[in-house]
Structure 1
């Protein structure tokens, strides 16, 4: 005998909802016990996620797919817990970083998928329960914001909260993402207001009080720059610093010798006529992007630039292969300097700047 299919739920109910919400919408207790509904937290039910297939891209790397799946898991758990309508809670640490779309290593995303970070401010008792990592935080040390309808620790606060769990290099990657000013379109730059936070906010968060991992935060702060749009770009820059190469300019508009705009590139060494492009998965998987890259690189070469194209393979061993390729190109640039003119550039932030 075939089992009856559960009756449809009211359209007014979101993906995750409280039992009280469902009962107010006329859903019976029996329907709330049906097997098609998960119970991620006490008093909460969740429908099967409609976008589950979107978490897997057959053409992406296993690490990229795992990253996407873990982020979806954490976001769904945060939305589900919010359905309990517990007053005064906020999301912090790994959970907040995911809600802000900040980069994290896979080991922290795996930790975040096991239990979400939920906090209260002041003297109230920290939340607890299965799937919850509770925190009791001092209000004067924690700035808050709202993202996707959820109350979260502000990006600068998240940066200091994760100091005990991240290396200096990973804190630089996270800080670069916080202060990054995204492009609005093509060669149209955004403004400082488009960043999640300014460097001053990182300083304020670090100096607000005693912090675990303060030495790592101070070391990372001195290396954070405006202009890095992804962790690979940060890793390449830090590899150049470790090798004692000149520090590159970031997020660079490139122009030909005649002043014609060509496009923008991730890193540039204008004194040596060298541009650096990191070819991420999206460059490989998008035929349109790939064609644009080919045309841009040809225009750069015609304008006298040498373009160093890097991939994920060049990031192994702390990006030492990337730094070696860049060092060789800089040496060639020194030899070409007196005989080959090249165009000019305009960067988001001068190398060594505070951001």
Structure 2
């Protein structure tokens, strides 16, 4: 049976770069059996409860929720939160690409409760309190966690900006609705010229709706004190939403 990062890749669960580059295959056998021992194979002896093993294209692997719990023994808390966010991410019909979760936060809580003595379960309990629905990528999760670690109020996910007709037109990666601040993470592909033009158009549209957009680059997330945290703090201390609304006529 496939487990840990091997199952995570199949389930499309987010993995940190260092683990994603480790292509050894994780295989488990029942706890009362012998541990698999082969070249480029990481063997495990594990016990499973009903529903924790699924079939994918004829291959047995751990369910998304159980895979996430198994990863707790390998990942840091922040990395585990990013993995959890990718498990529970969900978008409604107002989004360009609606998504259904691989598992819910309730599913993760139940599986943690079913394995109180499992390796990494304490870390999993801590990570559970930080997992949120709505993050599409690890950088988006790390952006949110960096704000929390810096004592900045937590932004909201799955926010939809609408035009005067009530139509959804902008989907921030995170937002402060009361202050009308939209956070957008621009990854490497945003250096493409066509994508750059779309980003500028999105920013103009956001501002026309009476919102401010804070754009975050990958370099802004680096270091113990990420630069973008100061950008967000400055935005939160900026003009009030009412002043912006009055200025833009929203």
- TM-score in terms of structure 2 length: 0.89
**Structure label with greater radius of gyration:** 1
User: Residue 239 of structure 1 corresponds to which residue in structure 2?
Assistant: 146
Instruction: Say which SS state the counterpart of residue 196 (structure 1) adopts.
Output: coil
Cα gap change, 1:103 to 1:137, in 2 (>3 Å): same
2:51, 2:31 → 1: CA distance? 10
Verify: 1:104 aligned to 2:11, yes or no. no
Q: How does 1:23-102 map to 2 (within 5 A)?
A: 90-102=1-13
Cα gap change, 1:208 to 1:166, in 2 (>3 Å): same
Contact 1:235-1:319 at 8 Å conserved across structures: no
Unaligned segments of structure 1, at least 5 residues: 1-89, 344-355
User: Residue 156 of structure 2 corresponds to which residue in structure 1?
Assistant: 249
RMSD: 2.3
What displacement does 1:149 show?
A: 4.0
2:213 to 287, 292, 307: 307
User: Residue 27 of structure 1 corresponds to which residue in structure 2?
Assistant: none
1:92, 1:302 → 2: CA distance? 48
1:218, 1:141 → 2: CA distance? 21
What displacement does 1:257 show?
A: 5.5
Unaligned segments of structure 2, at least 5 residues: none
Contact 1:117-1:135 at 8 Å conserved across structures: yes
Moved more, 135-144 or 207-216: 135-144
What displacement does 1:140 show?
A: 2.4
Verify: 1:153 aligned to 2:62, yes or no. yes
User: Residue 105 of structure 2 corresponds to which residue in structure 1?
Assistant: 199
User: Residue 339 of structure 1 corresponds to which residue in structure 2?
Assistant: 243
Cα gap change, 1:246 to 1:174, in 2 (>3 Å): same
Contact 1:235-1:318 at 8 Å conserved across structures: no
